[in-house]
Structure 1
Amino acid sequence: MEQLALSRYNASTAATVASWRQLIDEIEVLADEQKVARVNTFFNRLIRWRQDRDIWQQEDYWATPLETMARRQGDCEDFAVAKYMTLLLAGVDVDKMRITYVRAQVGGPHSNISQAHMVLAYYSVSSADPLILDNIVSEIRPASRREDLKPVFGFNSKGLWVGAADSPATNDPGARLSRWRNLLQRMAADGLG
């Protein structure tokens, strides 16, 4: 991927990819919770949040981790996808993670204003209160301590869950999420397939 980063982007992107690969190598031997913390910190420090229309001149574009690292900017789903793929490469079981579309309450605890947002949820076991990896709130907290987030649906490469359901509504998330299907194809072209 470093060679791809160098040929497609530049030496700076190749160096970022090398740092990312080093992170993956370093954390492979750690416990999952330590991996989660290191990956969350890595991307929250590396990537600057910006809207898709400013980065990609599109209303909604799901970037591959390579694209996100090349631009060093992304929106919420770009953070969630990069963290998901990094943890997957570091050996975290796919069944323990869901990229989760939520409604995020903005404007304080008494506000009724919400906006669409994406986070990565990590489940130590399937029935656990998941840990939330977020680009807005950098501290990893259990979902029960994130009352500002209301889950709408979650997905990974094996399924799609509606709300906070324990079992998937479908085992083929790409059939319902064309952006996810497209992203998986582009990640495969980046060597992440």
Structure 2
Amino acid sequence: MHTIRQFYGERAGKRAKAWRLLLQQLSHKSAHNSGSISGQLNQQQQENDKLKSVNQFFNQLEFIDDIVLWGIQDYWAIPQEFIGAGGGDCEDFSIAKYYSLLALGVDDSKLRLVYVKSMSLNQFHMVVAYYPRPEAVPLLLDNIDGEIKPATKRPDLIPIYSFNGSKLWLMKQKGQGQLAGNASRLSAWNEVRQRTEQQDFRRPIINLDE
């Protein structure tokens, strides 16, 4: 977090601190409840709380197109860059939410990044899907519609493909989709994962904090 402040400035450092505190508070709450019988029975509610808190936190950031912020047509920012810049596009919102939920102990098998066609915007878009059970209809975390809803309640989104840390699916319905191989087939996703691991930050061409 100190690195984010040094690299992007004081306001970015404050955002990074707020992000860290959010993750710490949610992790502490989860650990406090996990030892009790009621906590074990209420694991789903704990994960729902994590989804809601993470979704609300990142949806406060500014939406801005890659070409304006980064100077290129399509750039997938790592979470630290998104926090540092103070904004990004749909991929950046989704990637930051995905990594935050992983950090909070949500299993990767329950999460997917979903590339969709937004019929209301007539453009491609990305959201996070959360599967409480393997066979369940996923809940969608979106920066356009801030309310977390089941995929069946989002007829405006047409799924195309989805992926997580290991797998890639071609989506033919609102639920599971057809397994299409390893997520490493997606070069942009490979780069995000590598740069996240290496903490490879880059600066946008404009400063949203000025």
Normalised TM-score (structure 1):
0.89
The alpha carbon displacement at 1:3 in A equals 2.2
The letter of the residue matching 1:152 is: I
Q: Does 1:44 align with 2:52?
A: no
Which among 149, 160, 169 is matched to residue 180 of structure 2?
A: 169
Matches within 5 A, 1:148-159: 148-159=156-167
Q: What is the count of residue pairs matched by the alignment? A: 181
Q: What is the match of residue 76 of structure 2?
A: 62
Aligned with 1:147: secondary structure? coil
Match runs of 1:37-186 below 5 Å: 37-45=52-60, 47-106=61-120, 114-163=122-171, 164=173, 165-166=176-177, 168-170=179-181, 172-174=182-184, 176-186=185-195
Which amino acid is 1:25 matched to?
Q
The answer to whether the 8 A contact 2:63-2:89 is kept is: yes
Q: Distance in 1 between matches of 2:103 and 2:199?
A: 14
Which deviates the most, 28-37 or 124-133? 28-37
Q: CA deviation at 1:6?
A: 2.5
Q: Give the Cα separation in 2 of the matches to 1:154 and 1:26.
A: 30
- Cα contact 1:126–1:166 (8 A) shared by 2: no
Contact persistence 1:4–1:190 (CA under 8 A)? no
Equivalent position amino acid for 1:58 in 2: I
Query: Sequence identity, in percent?
Result: 38
SS of residue paired to 2:134: coil
Q: Secondary structure at the match of 1:168?
A: strand
SS at match of 1:99: strand
Q: Secondary structure at the match of 1:106?
A: coil
Moved more, 48-57 or 10-19: 10-19
- Give the deviation of 1:166 after TM superposition: 4.8
Aligned CA RMSD, in angstroms, stands at 1.4
What's the offset of the Cα at 1:32?
Answer: 0.7
- For each residue in 1:112-171, what CA deviation from the matched residue of structure 2 results, as whole angstroms up to 9, or x when unmatched? xx310000000001111100000000011000000001110000111111104455321x
Mean Cα deviation higher: 13-22 or 97-106: 13-22
CA distance in structure 1 between the partners assigned to 2:63 and 2:10 by the alignment: 22
Alignment-derived partner of residue 9 in structure 1: 8
Match of 1:187 among 187, 196, 204: 196
| Larger Cα-atom Rg | 2
